[in-house]
Amino acid sequence: DTAVSQTPKYLVTQMGNDKSIKCEQNLGHDTMYWYKQDSKKFLKIMFSYNNKELIINETVPNRFSPKSPDKAHLNLHINSLELGDSAVYFCASSQGDRGGYGYTFGSGTRLTVV
């Protein structure tokens, strides 16, 4: 039973398209996150949601819009995709802010914009 699952695992799309990545966690956690890992392998937080409320927005372009319909889901919608959006996107969850303990990450969505 996958704790944090993301779909799709791979996404290839053309510039200018709009796409969504879905994330679901079955751990009962109340906080969910989106991280981006670029080609240089740096892993950076994009958003965090606690109980469906946006907590962190790390100066991500407006083209990225997270949506949390409930505590178990955090989806990422991206409008007008650009080449620079190509990266691996990881969803994660935790029970509150426990410093760094018990954060669970999904296996990632590799987005390629051509």
Q: Footprint of other proteins on this chain (CB under 8 A)?
A: 4, 31, 33, 41-45, 48, 50, 55-56, 58, 90, 92, 94, 96-108
Phi/psi class of residue 28: alpha, beta or left (left: φ > 0; alpha: ψ in -120 to 50)? left
For other proteins, the closer CB: 15 or 27: 27
Helix, strand, or coil here: 17?
A: coil
- Report d(CA 99, CA 111) in Å as an integer: 29
Least distance to other proteins from the beta carbon of 65, Å?
19
Pick 13 or 105: Cβ nearer other proteins: 105
Among 99, 64, 102, 100, residue whose Cα is nearest residue 80: 64
Minimum CB distance to other proteins smaller for 63 or for 98: 98
CB of 49 to other proteins, least distance (A): 9
**Minimal distance, residue 20 CB to other proteins, in Å:** 19
User: Closer CB to other proteins, residue 56 or residue 77?
Assistant: 56
Give, in order, the Cα–Cα distances in Å from 92 to each of 13, 49, 67, 76, 81. 24, 10, 14, 12, 23
